[in-house]
A and B are shown apart, each in its own frame.
Chain A
């Protein structure tokens, strides 16, 4: 499902070239729940961005569901991000001027795969499933951080992605909310069969995964 080969990412800074990810090889079979763990600055978020089509690698290749991501044209890459990947960021990533239902429907509307009424019905169902059925018309500022994160997961799932990437989705949440978010992610992985890659620095969360990848200084150490 997910195949990374010698993926590297270097940045040019005033103090010279900084290597964030150095030649990582990674295989995650379809439907699996994999966790990438490591300390802050270890390169795990950068790796996720390269897998998700958000950041071009300096070297190496990323293949998702048979698609060589970084050989796609701009439009095809946008379509890949829209259709194949669902991305949950480590921060509240909803657009503040849109209602929850609009936020969730937005990726489907951008992709124009189905009509507005079908998209909104699906967005409503996803929010219902996330326990946010009573907040369809609410704005992000009107709900809690945990609810916002759940809405972001609903948005990530609107186009039925093959791969769900969650970059420290519980980083600034309380313990109870963390448990709720992880339940949602695990349920999606288990019931829908969506491949889940979770980035975290929390070993307890990583232990829930079927595959654990330990990164340090941009390289896999275990």
Chain B
């Protein structure tokens, strides 16, 4: 009813200071929740992108293989020694989160570059890979498929052009960004299927072709630890389960940072939930006090024939207006804070090469709507019970300020 809605609005205007304080408190609460949720989600997405770029936690390679350890484990090194492709899958090691098998064959006379150039042909499984594809700087607008190759940043061939490798045509599907890791810079990346199809065309070195080209064999695995697992646990588990393998760890701090940040984000989420809960309690207490103060007015409304849903409705509308406005202001405040954040920290992070992926607009809008709706819902819930209780009292008790 319009008159009761007007009454609700005018009641808010009657106690301007209190209404403004309530709106401010809800604005701060919902602003923190909106900003926190958006930033957390953005950081989470950025971590997913950033950490996948940082590479694996460890490599599993044949025992005798030489390894070139870089800060970021992105590819295994070329070697003639191989492991069975299914060796880690069979071992079912709990501390291994993800394992990406790779085949590397260092070849010459491939048709790429000058005649004697050594070229690393790197095979990977697109479905399991987490160290090559995150570096894709540009790619064709379609799925990666057999016959496609991805080139390291050191090779300058246009996207979509045909590249002959040992006389066989391949399509340049994508190019990687600069990683600073040699194998990545000069490598030509392709699926296992594409690499194995080249085996017959690769000239033999001495008595045999590179062993990694054989089906069912891999040069090694890049391993990401399972959440909560330590590098030491994984190392012992792998060494005891996989005969003839050695484990090479990279920068051990990476998995620690990854796991630490995940825990931190969960902690922030818990704090946000607590903050929202405390806001709900505060609004409820405040409306309980407001309704106590306005018992005579509610009693008067009852006395002239207002039904209890009308009385409860008026109080709930009043609360929803106040907390809804607080929610809208909170989201606005949050957007301003994030603009500030974007101009300072995000700008700095991106300048030093750490990617920061903002949440896309539809999801950010959904978060904003959710924050406003939650704020309004808190107001509605906070006002409903004390209003309902008051509306059930005798009108005469309410008029006299009792009950």
- Mark A residues whose CB is within 8 Å of B: 46, 49, 52-56, 74-75, 78-79, 81-83, 87, 89, 93, 95-98, 102, 105-107, 109-111, 155, 159
Contact indicator B11/A83 (Cβ below 8 Å): no
CB contacts under 8 Å to A, within B1-53, are: 1, 3, 6-7, 10-11, 13-14
User: What's the minimum C-beta distance from B308 to chain A, rounded to whole angstroms?
Assistant: 7
Contact indicator A81/B397 (Cβ below 8 Å): no
From the candidates A75, A96, A98, name the one contacting B307 in the complex (CB within 8 A). A75
User: What's the minimum C-beta distance from A111 to chain B, rounded to whole angstroms?
Assistant: 6
From the candidates A46, A83, A95, A102, name the one contacting B300 in the complex (CB within 8 A). A95
Given A54-B394, A78-B307, A109-B1, residue A97 in contact with residue B7 (CB < 8 A): yes
Contact indicator A110/B306 (Cβ below 8 Å): yes
Name the residue of chain B whose CB is nearest to the CB of A75. B307
Q: Once the chains are docked, how many angstroms separate the CA of A110 from the CA of B303?
A: 11
Name the residue of chain A whose CB is nearest to the CB of B3. A109
From the candidates B6, B10, B11, B395, name the one contacting A81 in the complex (CB within 8 A). B395
Q: Once the chains are docked, how many angstroms separate the CA of A87 from the CA of B302?
A: 11
Given A56-B394, A96-B14, residue A82 in contact with residue B302 (CB < 8 A): no
The 9 lowest CB-CB distance pairs between A and B, nearest first, are: A82-B305, A97-B10, A55-B396, A49-B396, A54-B396, A54-B395, A107-B304, A78-B307, A81-B305
User: What's the minimum C-beta distance from A79 to chain B, rounded to whole angstroms?
Assistant: 7
24 residue pairs of the A-B complex, CB under 8 angstroms, read: A49-B395, A54-B303, A54-B394, A55-B394, A55-B397, A56-B394, A74-B308, A78-B308, A89-B303, A93-B399, A95-B297, A96-B14, A97-B7, A98-B3, A98-B7, A98-B10, A102-B6, A105-B3, A106-B3, A107-B304, A110-B306, A110-B310, A111-B305, A155-B304
Q: Which residues of A contact B299 (CB under 8 A)?
A: 54
Contact indicator B303/A52 (Cβ below 8 Å): yes
Q: Which residues of A contact B306 (CB under 8 A)?
A: 78, 110
Q: Once the chains are docked, how many angstroms separate the CA of A96 from the CA of B15?
A: 12
The tally of residues in B whose CB lies under 8 Å from a CB in A reads 25
User: What's the minimum C-beta distance from A169 to chain B, rounded to whole angstroms?
Assistant: 14
Q: Which residues of B contact A56 (CB under 8 A)?
A: 394
Contact indicator B7/A95 (Cβ below 8 Å): yes
Number of A-B contacts (CB under 8 A): 74
From the candidates A46, A93, A97, A110, name the one contacting B14 in the complex (CB within 8 A). A97
Q: Which residues of A contact B1 (CB under 8 A)?
A: 109-110
Q: Once the chains are docked, how many angstroms separate the CA of A159 from the CA of B303?
A: 13
Contact indicator B3/A54 (Cβ below 8 Å): no
CB contacts under 8 Å to A, within B259-313, are: 297, 299-308, 310
Name the residue of chain B whose CB is nearest to the CB of A82. B305
Q: Once the chains are docked, how many angstroms separate the CA of A56 from the CA of B392?
A: 12
User: What's the minimum C-beta distance from B399 to chain A, rounded to whole angstroms?
Assistant: 7
Q: Which residues of B contact A52 (CB under 8 A)?
A: 303
User: What's the minimum C-beta distance from A153 to chain B, rounded to whole angstroms?
Assistant: 13
Q: Once the chains are docked, how many angstroms separate the CA of A107 from the CA of B303?
A: 9
Q: Once the chains are docked, how many angstroms separate the CA of A83 from the CA of B13?
A: 31
Q: Which residues of A contact B13 (CB under 8 A)?
A: 97
From the candidates B6, B11, B302, B310, name the one contacting A54 in the complex (CB within 8 A). B302
Q: Which residues of A contact B395 (CB under 8 A)?
A: 49, 53-55, 81
Given A95-B7, A97-B7, residue A79 in contact with residue B396 (CB < 8 A): no
Contact indicator B14/A87 (Cβ below 8 Å): no
Name the residue of chain A whose CB is nearest to the CB of B305. A82
Q: Which residues of B contact A107 (CB under 8 A)?
A: 304-305
Q: Which residues of A contact B310 (CB under 8 A)?
A: 110
User: What's the minimum C-beta distance from A119 to chain B, rounded to whole angstroms?
Assistant: 10
Contact indicator A78/B394 (Cβ below 8 Å): no
Contact indicator B307/A74 (Cβ below 8 Å): yes
Name the residue of chain B whose CB is nearest to the CB of A56. B394
Contact indicator A110/B304 (Cβ below 8 Å): yes
Q: Which residues of A contact B7 (CB under 8 A)?
A: 95, 97-98
Name the residue of chain B whose CB is nearest to the CB of A87. B303
From the candidates B3, B297, B305, name the one contacting A78 in the complex (CB within 8 A). B305
CB contacts under 8 Å to A, within B62-85, are: none
Q: Once the chains are docked, how many angstroms separate the CA of A87 from the CA of B301?
A: 11
Q: Which residues of B contact A87 (CB under 8 A)?
A: 303-304
Name the residue of chain A whose CB is nearest to the CB of B300. A93
User: What's the minimum C-beta distance from B354 to chain A, rounded to whole angstroms?
Assistant: 55
Given contacts A49-B396, A53-B395, A54-B399, 16 further A-B contacts (CB under 8 A): A54-B299, A54-B396, A78-B302, A78-B306, A78-B307, A81-B303, A81-B304, A89-B300, A98-B6, A98-B10, A102-B3, A102-B6, A106-B3, A107-B305, A110-B301, A111-B305
